Amino acid sequence: MVASKQIPGMGTLRRFRETTGKPIGWLLGEDLLLPQQPTPTTDKTPEPAHGEFVFVPRFDANAEQSFSMAFRKYWIEKYLNADPANLSAHRIEDDVMEPQFQRAEQRRAPVRR
């Protein structure tokens, strides 16, 4: 539908909007192009599916929470031997700590409260 990195026409944008339910501004990336204007969010963590999954907050390089990542509760408790309520996830942005940390890895870390 969209080719050669061109901005799609209004007809295409309307079809995207109808299909995705997202506003046309979002489809054009205005939340990325204008970072000074906050993007409205519901700021609601999804309800875990029957207690099987837990949501761990993920932080970016600036230590700001960007979203939550879902993990199986059993895996965190049995293999990590950790309490899901005391975990956070972090994305490795560069390669200064290779080979211990690889670029674009998602790491879990305990949270001290």
- Where do the structural domains in the chain lie, given as residue ranges? 1-39, 53-110
Give the model's pLDDT for residue 62: 63
Give the model's pLDDT for residue 61: 62
- 10-residue mean pLDDT series, the chain (113 residues): 62 78 70 52 55 78 70 84 80 61 53 53
Q: What CA–CA distance (Å, rounded) separates 41 from 61?
A: 21
Q: What tens digit of pLDDT does each residue of 63-95 get?
A: 666 667 788 888 888 888 888 788 877 766 666
Give the model's pLDDT for residue 33: 44
Give the model's pLDDT for residue 60: 66
